[in-house]
Amino acid sequence: MSTLNIGLILPDVLGTYGDDGNALVLRQRARMRGLDAEIVPIKLGEPVPDSLDLYCVGGGEDTAQILAAEHLIKDGGLQRAAAKNTPILAICAGLQVLGVSFRAGGGIVDGVGLIDATTISMQKRAIGEVATTPTGAGWTSQLTEKLTGFENHMGATILGPDAQPLGKVTHGIGNADPAAVEQAGVDVSQKVAEGAVQGSVVCTYMHGPALARNPQLADLLLAQAMGKELSDMEPLDIPVVAQLRKERLAH
């Protein structure tokens, strides 16, 4: 691989919460290891190439979600990339858009369908710090460190049988509050579920950006993009990142 190409999906509509920073983190961590890495932004109305090495999808509001879902469904590029087992990271609204359906604009909107998940509404917004223990689902089985982020959403995401949670909540709300889980009539384990893993797609409600706060997850994504194991990645000693994690995990 001469250049690691990181696709940044629809930053013009799904860039509300600074989640574009995830692509920056990936590029920087790759470059710090001597790898050539570039960010390829794909804006609304532009085709999504299925030939990139890694994709990032960020968060946004209702109108942005609807526009993003319509574009991605019609284009099909991200779906073709997923079929090639290319790693895809989706944050918050990105999680909802890549699901089967989500609520936005007062109605139910079809999602891209890369994650077996439906998003309904919660009565109270989930906002604040969230921390989880990795579940080891799918290719995230290599994760050993706690995950940390900032959640801010009104959507309650319920996972279907083909998707597994990325993490088990130890602090915060996660995908859905207990009332929404009970309303959906699904397994009570979803009361502590956060994020989703299915195929090559990993999703989370964690902002921060998520990869700045979870360097092990960033390195796992890079490893997957290069066809390597996490253990193959040369460790990076960045004291400020270690200090940030220590502060955010001190609940």
Say if CB 40 and CB 225 are below 8 A apart: no
For residue 24 the two structure tokens come to: 């920056």
d(CA 22, CA 13): 16
Cα first-last separation, the chain = 41
What tokens were used for 101?
């359906």
User: 122-143 burial by CB neighbour count: b if 16+ within 10 A, else e?
Assistant: beeebeeebbbbbbebbbbebb
Residue type, 186: V
71 has catalytic annotation: no
What are the residues facing 55 on neighbouring strands?
7, 88
Pairwise CA distance, residues 56 & 217, whole Å: 13
Select which of 56, 71, 203, 207 is catalytic.
Answer: 207
Is the Cα torsion angle 228, 234, 238, 243 positive or negative in sign?
positive
Single out the catalytic residue among 56, 71, 92, 153: 92
Distance CA 220, CA 108 (A): 34
Q: Which tokens go with 136?
A: 């080891």
* Cα separations in angstroms, 108 against 117, 119, 204: 13, 9, 21
Would you say 125 is a known binding-site residue?
A: yes
To the query of whether residue 92 is one of the catalytic residues in this protein, the response is yes
Q: What are phi and psi of 103, to 5 degrees?
A: -95, 130
The binding site comprises 125
The binding site for substrate comprises 125
Q: Would you name the residues annotated as active-site residues?
A: 92, 207
